């Protein structure tokens, strides 16, 4: 009854009617009419002359949101459709006062509930100076499109990430000829269940984090969170924007398991059927643009994670080996790391461990 994306819908408005098996559309119309009639306000009671209240001693309001302070996560993706946004009364009032849409805030309280610290973090991000919109060219025809909720969240997240997270970047080339041959041989044996280069990359990232655990961390104010397993977020492009489904505990899954799981997650991400717990969290992210012919790029960190790995295209390039010019298939990878959590040496050790696994791919199958 109310189109998708409609803003400003009043509380209590009938937005949809569900028909059970055997019911007709006329039943829905009857139900809608009954609901509308029930919503009409009744006659107002007769006015009563107010009686002055006796003075009351001031009271100290009870502290709201007793949850312990913790650094707020930045929204990982668009909130799931349907359902009421969970937020404490104080958080709702603060969001309203600060003009912060609750759907753009990721809750850090129990069961994803939005609490005071989440609004404080969102307000801090909103306080970042924004340049005024560029003037509209008067001689160029254009149309304006209202941003989707997901696109608004992506814009806010990226702005906060670049404004509040001190990025640094490390780049190296990985020789992948042995990996390509192993993948070809494995796919010939598997038949229909093909594995992709990205599946090997996911496993290599997880194994490298196991070898360099100081890179599997998260900055959290006055503490550092050290994770005991590698949950790898993988950027997937959808019609509404990027979403990052997670391969959990990727270091303890085979390449074939990762491939099956990744295909399912990517398919459901593009159809909008992922559950929140399938794209929220993760300890590191991967963004692969190699299939689009991109040779090298630097990705923006996905807070509160501390690193993201940007994967370029594998291509044949000349190299010098033992004084002679030869060719090899090289893939350029760049890590963007949060310098508050990961030092340059740690980032370099992780990147070299990742390279070692890809250049000796049989070690990933052990």
> Which residues participate in catalysis according to the annotation?
339
Dihedral over Cα of 249, 253, 255, 261: its sign: negative
State the Cα–Cα distance between residues 233 and 248, nearest whole angstrom: 8
State the Cα–Cα distance between residues 195 and 255, nearest whole angstrom: 7
The CA dihedral of 216, 219, 224, 230, to the nearest 10 degrees, is -20
The CA dihedral of 268, 270, 273, 277, to the nearest 10 degrees, is 80
State the Cα–Cα distance between residues 261 and 255, nearest whole angstrom: 10
State the Cα–Cα distance between residues 341 and 349, nearest whole angstrom: 14
Short-list 214, 211, 187, CA closest to 200: 187
Token pair of 189, please? Answer: 């044996």
User: What b-and-e string marks burial along 98-129, b requiring 16 or more CB atoms within 10 Å of the CB?
Assistant: eebebebbbbbbeebbbbbbbbebbbebeeee
Short-list 118, 124, 212, 200, CA closest to 160: 124
State the Cα–Cα distance between residues 166 and 153, nearest whole angstrom: 20
State the Cα–Cα distance between residues 198 and 288, nearest whole angstrom: 8
**Given the structure tokens 């668009």, which residue do they identify?**
78
State the Cα–Cα distance between residues 140 and 356, nearest whole angstrom: 52
């Amino acid at each position: 009854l109310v189109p998708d994306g409609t803003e400003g819908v009043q509380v209590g408005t009938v937005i949809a009617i569900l028909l059970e098996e055997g019911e007709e559309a006329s039943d829905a119309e009857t139900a809608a009419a009954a609901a509308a009639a029930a919503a009409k306000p009744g006659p107002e009671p007769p006015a009563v002359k107010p009686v002055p209240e006796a003075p009351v001693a001031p009271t100290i309001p009870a502290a709201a949101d007793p949850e312990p302070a913790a650094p707020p996560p930045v929204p990982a993706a668009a909130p799931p459709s349907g359902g009421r946004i969970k937020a404490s009364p104080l958080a709702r009032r603060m969001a309203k006062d600060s003009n912060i849409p609750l759907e753009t805030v990721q809750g850090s309280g129990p069961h994803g509930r939005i609490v005071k610290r989440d609004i404080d973090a969102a307000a801090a991000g909103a306080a970042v100076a924004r340049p005024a919109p560029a003037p509209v060219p008067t001689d160029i025809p254009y149309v304006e499109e209202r941003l989707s909720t997901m696109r608004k969240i992506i814009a806010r997240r990226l702005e906060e990430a670049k404004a509040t997270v001190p990025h640094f970047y490390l780049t190296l080339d990985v020789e992948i000829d042995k990996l390509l041959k192993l993948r070809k041989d494995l796919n010939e044996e598997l038949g229909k269940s093909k594995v992709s280069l990205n599946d090997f990359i996911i496993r290599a990232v997880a194994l490298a984090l196991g070898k360099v655990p100081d890179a599997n961390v998260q900055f959290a104010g006055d503490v550092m969170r050290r994770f005991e397993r590698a949950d790898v977020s993988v950027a997937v492009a959808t019609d509404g924007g990027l979403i990052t489904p997670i391969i959990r505990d990727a270091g303890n899954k085979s390449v074939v398991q990762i491939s099956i799981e990744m295909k399912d997650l990517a398919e459901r991400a593009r159809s909008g059927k992922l559950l929140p717990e399938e794209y929220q969290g993760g300890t590191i992210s991967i963004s692969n643009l190699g299939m689009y012919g991109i040779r090298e790029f630097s990705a923006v960190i996905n807070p509160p994670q501390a690193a993201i790995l940007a994967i370029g295209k594998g291509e044949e390039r000349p190299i010098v080996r033992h004084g002679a010019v030869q060719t090899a298939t090289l893939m350029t990878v760049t890590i963007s790391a949060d310098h508050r959590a990961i030092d340059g040496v740690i980032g370099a050790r992780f990147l070299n461990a990742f390279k070692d696994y890809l250049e000796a791919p049989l070690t990933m199958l052990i």
